[in-house]
Amino acid sequence: MQNQTPNANAQYKTLVTLWAGLLMSQFMLLLVIFFARPEVFKFDFSAPLLGGENSILIIVFAVLGLTTFLISFVLESKFLNEAVERQKPELVQTALIVSCALCEATSLLGLVTVFAFSYRYFFAWFALGILGIILHFPKRDNLFAASYKK
């Protein structure tokens, strides 16, 4: 068996760079909201939690956000298991990108609530999306398990 540690270390650095970029995009979206709709950052907790007249849509967006968040973990696990079974380290990168993209979709749903409904509790979607991306931080062990036959 050939020693693939230098290659695995380079792949891990790539994964961490991708992860950091995807996490940074969350904060860039918040910056876009801040400049486009600064009034939503004046947290008025006296506003109705479900957004008043748009309550059904807010509930739908909440369910979609939670669903994408949960599916991100299911798909990550699926891709990581396949990476180990097939000994394909590139699937570890696929797992990271897909799972973080689904968490970003959660945040994008929050972005839509801001621009479509001026919903002031949009930050719940962003908190969930950011938490998901943080929880998907790449693990070196996943890459090594997919790189070496046991």
Which of these, 18, 10, 134, 146, lies nearest to 82 by C-alpha position? 146
Predicted confidence at residue 3, as pLDDT, reads: 47
pLDDT in tens, 74-107: 999 999 999 999 988 889 999 999 999 999 999 9
- How far is the C-alpha of 83 from the C-alpha of 63, rounded, in Å? 30
Note whether 109 and 29 are within 8 A (CB).
no
Cβ atoms < 10 Å from Cβ of 120? 20
Predicted confidence at residue 39, as pLDDT, reads: 84
Domain map (residue ranges) of the chain: 5-39+53-147
In the chain, the percentage of residues whose pLDDT exceeds 90 is 57
How far does CA 5 lie from the centroid of its chain?
A: 28
Q: Is 58 helix (H, G, I), strand (E, B) or coil?
A: helix
Which of these, 146, 53, 50, lies nearest to 93 by C-alpha position? 146
Note whether 40 and 114 are within 8 A (CB).
yes
Note whether 7 and 139 are within 8 A (CB).
no
User: Residue 142 is encoded by which pair of tokens?
Assistant: 């996943």
51 has a pLDDT exceeding 70: no
Q: Is 7 helix (H, G, I), strand (E, B) or coil?
A: helix
